[in-house]
Amino acid sequence: MRLFRSTITASAHCDLPCGVYDPAQARIEAESVKAIMEKYQGNEDPVFRTRALIIKEQRSELVKHHLWVLWTDYFKAPHFEKYPQLHELFNTATKAAGAAGGKGAVDPAEGQKLLDLIAEIDAIFWETKKA
CATH for 20-130 is: 1.20.120.400
Q: Where are the domains of the chain?
A: 20-130
- Tens of pLDDT along the chain (131 residues) come to 666 666 666 555 555 555 678 999 999 999 999 999 999 999 999 999 999 999 999 999 999 999 999 999 999 999 999 999 999 999 999 999 998 778 889 999 999 999 999 999 999 999 998 87
pTM across the whole model: 0.85
DSSP, residue by residue, the chain: -GGGS-------SSSS-GGG--THHHHHHHHHHHHHHHHHHT---HHHHHHHHHHHHHHHHHHHHHHHHIIIII--HHHHHH-TTHHHHHHHHHHHHTTTTTTT---HHHHHHHHHHHHHHHHHHHHHHH-
